[in-house]
A and B are shown apart, each in its own frame.
Chain A
Amino acid sequence: MIWKLIKKDIRRRIKQPAGYLMLIAMPVFFALLMGIIFGPKDSDDTLILVKTLIEDHDDSFASHFIINAFGSERMGNMFEVTPVDSGAGRPMMEDGKASALLIIPAGFGDSLLHQNPVALTLVKNPGEAFAPKIAEETILVMAEAGDRLIALTEGPLKTIRNRVDSKTDLTEAEMALMAIQTYRLIKKADRILFPPLIKLASSKENKESTSDRATVFAYILCGVLVMSLLFSLEILNRDFFFEQENHTLTRQLLATGIFRFVTAKLLFIYLSGMISFAVVWMIAIPLFGIGVTPVLLLRLAVFALVLMAGLTGVISLIYALARNRNQGQSIAPAVILGFSMLGGAMVPLGSMPGFIRSLAVISPVYWGINAMQRLVVEQAPIGDILQHILVLGLLAILFLVPSVFLQKRKLSQ
């Protein structure tokens, strides 16, 4: 009986897969973009070393992020970044000690968070022709990528999130809009994929570095993946409200009773989470050239069982507590973003202030990301992540059991 209920939910998704598939593809997209920007470059040979000074007036997560990016493996070979005190940059430039000076204004991070327009200042050394141009080009590319990432989360993701569980199909106009947004994204990514100047600097291919690059992709993917999984679980949980609004809830309760209904729904959500997890890795492994062994796949599968149970527990409890759809749909994403930020899904924990780093352990996202990174990047055995499994397993039990009873109580009214 429970299986019949689950099968129905799966078939419903199969009938309208567009939104759901896009959602699954999202983490791969993110990882691809971020990996290309911040990943290692293909060669150690550098034609030019661009000496860049950075004046950080902001000292926020965002400015640290930029500084880290310049120092990353890929760009570190091309840029020599020296942080300087406020006001010290310009005199040094005049002395000809650097090719470019990047000034990050105070309030930069805040403005980003509030999505206000914000300007970085780049001072180029007029005496040099080429090096400052590289600095400028790179920052432009970064800015565009950042912009695109924001647009990406706001554009298609929003359309999808709103539409995925509503009764109507995506209209053709919405499909077209999404296609355009995605196309524009790819066009922009084009510049990142083949930035003219950076390509010049790394024209000599070095095959050995591909696994390095895969590592960075995998590393980033682990982060975004947990966050996107939470978002897909959130959308799946809306089914509880959908069945109510669609009046199909009562009919199912009549035929099967409430306990079976709730159990089946949660199992379906869990199962779909597992499928998303598997699909993402199935796309990512060949796409990024991540080296996998059967043992690693097995470890990932075992971990996924626990991870998805824990994450399902978190989101389902929020939905079981939410009195109506609006409550669920506004609280859950806020919680997801909070946990993701804290757990290092958006900004690597290394670039965050110390006190946040010490708080990361309260975020289930942290446990998920950290364990996966160990499995995939460090090739660690399951024994190394027992603590993670324990934490996530405990979360699953502590959250799923009350979810069932709260949902039961709520739906029986």
Chain B
Amino acid sequence: MLQITDLTKKYKDLTAVDRISFQVNQGEIFGFLGPNGAGKTTTINCICGLLKPDSGTITLDDQDMIGGGNRVRQMLGVVPQEVALYEEFNAIENLQFWGGLYGLKGAAIKSRIQKLLDLTGLADRAKEAVKNYSGGMKRRLNMAAGMIHEPRLLLLDEPTVGIDPQARHQMLDTIRQIAAQGTTILYTTHYMDEAEQLCSRLAIIDHGRILALGTQQEIQQIVGENRLMKITGTFDKSRAESLPDKMKNLVLLSIQENEVLYSLPMKETTGTFLEMLIKSGFEIDNLSIREPSLDSVFIKLTGRELRD
């Protein structure tokens, strides 16, 4: 449905998005996972036409999106990262205004608003000014506003930032419902657990580049059935580097002054590994073992945690 090829966007010297390509298929929730400053919002802004890419193509159902004008815009819904609502208006007034801009009116807009209020669970507070809403409620209304005109493709830019776990849970449920009703979703986030829960396929992006792309299973293969072992403390660097020679299947991923990262197959026991560390003179301040997950994929790919 959405096809992005070699998209590049620069801000002066900084290349915020660097030759990325991916495809979002009809009906799926596609995850766009990356840390702060990865280039997620920049990509979304290019797709919806707020930014003009430096190079690359974006097509929606084979129609060119760059300079695509109103017709393509009608097919697209955007839920911006920040809440974009009028606080002095209530939910209905906000939705009426945004719907009106897309040419909705009369009974059509009324029933659409009612549907969205039910979907987002705001129906009983619909006549209250938005300024009295909680953060989670504002986020839900923000999402409703982005899809008032029944877009076929919905771009969600970190819709769960800054809300409590319960509200987040509710939000993810709502998003699943939206997808179940046939809307295709591009879901941007820096929470790997959200991507794991929601997305059938996803891309991991960092510093403007796509590091991994595919279904969850495909991406999981990058770490395989491996645990990640991160050790902080004092150790001899050359001995740390030579550990993989002593233990089959142990792989050194990255090493710094006080920190070293290995990957170890699930079938190997951690006990043997620990023993070996101590024998090699490691003074361990902290040891973290991470089961295979998208998080560990990210760590393996970048040497950093996703939430840095």
List chain A positions with a Cβ less than 8 A from chain B: 1, 4-5, 8, 11-12, 15-16, 167, 169, 246-248, 250-257
Known contacts being A11-B89, A12-B89, A15-B89, is A4 close to B101, with CB within 8 Å? yes
Known: A248-B85, A251-B80. 15 other contacts (CB 8 A): A12-B86, A12-B88, A12-B89, A167-B87, A246-B84, A246-B85, A247-B80, A248-B84, A251-B78, A251-B84, A251-B146, A253-B50, A254-B50, A254-B73, A255-B102
List, in ascending order, chain B residues with CB within 8 A of A8's CB.
86, 97
The contact of A248 among B73, B86, B102, by CB within 8 Å, is B86
Bound Cα distance from A252 to B89, whole angstroms: 16
Verify if B83 is at the interface (C-beta below 8 Å from A): yes
Enumerate the 3 nearest inter-chain pairs by beta-carbon distance, A residue then B residue, closest first.
Answer: A247-B84, A255-B101, A247-B82
Bound Cα distance from A308 to B83, whole angstroms: 34
**A to B contact number (C-beta, < 8 Å):** 51
List, in ascending order, chain B residues with CB within 8 A of A16's CB.
88
B86 touches A246 (CB 8 A): yes
List, in ascending order, chain B residues with CB within 8 A of A254's CB.
48-50, 73, 78
Bound Cα distance from A331 to B101, whole angstroms: 34
A1 touches B84 (CB 8 A): no
Which residue of A has the minimal Cβ distance to B82?
Answer: A247
B88 touches A255 (CB 8 A): no
Bound Cα distance from A248 to B101, whole angstroms: 13
Which residue of A has the minimal Cβ distance to B93?
Answer: A11
Bound Cα distance from A108 to B187, whole angstroms: 68
Beta-carbon contacts under 8 Å, B83-137 to A = 83-89, 93, 97-98, 100-102, 131
List, in ascending order, chain A residues with CB within 8 A of B85's CB.
246, 248
Which residue of A has the minimal Cβ distance to B69?
Answer: A257
List, in ascending order, chain A residues with CB within 8 A of B89's CB.
11-12, 15
Chain B, residues 64-86, CB within 8 Å of chain A (1/0): the string is 00000010010000101011111
Verify if B58 is at the interface (C-beta below 8 Å from A): no
B86 touches A250 (CB 8 A): no
Known contacts being A4-B101, A15-B88, A255-B98, is A250 close to B93, with CB within 8 Å? no
CB of B38 to closest CB in A, whole Å = 20
List, in ascending order, chain B residues with CB within 8 A of A167's CB.
87, 131
B84 touches A4 (CB 8 A): no
CB of B112 to closest CB in A, whole Å = 15
16 residue pairs of the A-B complex, CB under 8 angstroms, read A8-B97, A12-B86, A12-B88, A15-B89, A167-B87, A246-B86, A247-B83, A248-B85, A248-B86, A250-B50, A251-B78, A252-B101, A254-B48, A254-B50, A254-B78, A255-B102
Bound Cα distance from A167 to B98, whole angstroms: 19
List, in ascending order, chain A residues with CB within 8 A of B84's CB.
246-248, 250-251
Bound Cα distance from A214 to B93, whole angstroms: 45
CB of B267 to closest CB in A, whole Å = 50
B73 touches A255 (CB 8 A): yes
B50 touches A4 (CB 8 A): no
Verify if B145 is at the interface (C-beta below 8 Å from A): yes
List, in ascending order, chain A residues with CB within 8 A of B131's CB.
167, 169
CB of A225 to closest CB in B, whole Å = 28
A251 touches B98 (CB 8 A): yes
Chain B, residues 224-258, CB within 8 Å of chain A (1/0): the string is 00000000000000000000000000000000000
CB of B19 to closest CB in A, whole Å = 23
List, in ascending order, chain B residues with CB within 8 A of A246's CB.
84-87
CB of A19 to closest CB in B, whole Å = 12
The contact of A251 among B49, B70, B100, B145, by CB within 8 Å, is B145
Which residue of B has the minimal Cβ distance to A13?
Answer: B88
Bound Cα distance from A308 to B131, whole angstroms: 33
Which residue of B has the minimal Cβ distance to A252?
Answer: B101
B101 touches A256 (CB 8 A): yes
List, in ascending order, chain B residues with CB within 8 A of A247's CB.
80, 82-84
Which residue of B has the minimal Cβ distance to A251?
Answer: B84
List, in ascending order, chain A residues with CB within 8 A of B88's CB.
12, 15-16
CB of A392 to closest CB in B, whole Å = 33
CB of A192 to closest CB in B, whole Å = 38
List, in ascending order, chain B residues with CB within 8 A of A255's CB.
73, 98, 101-102
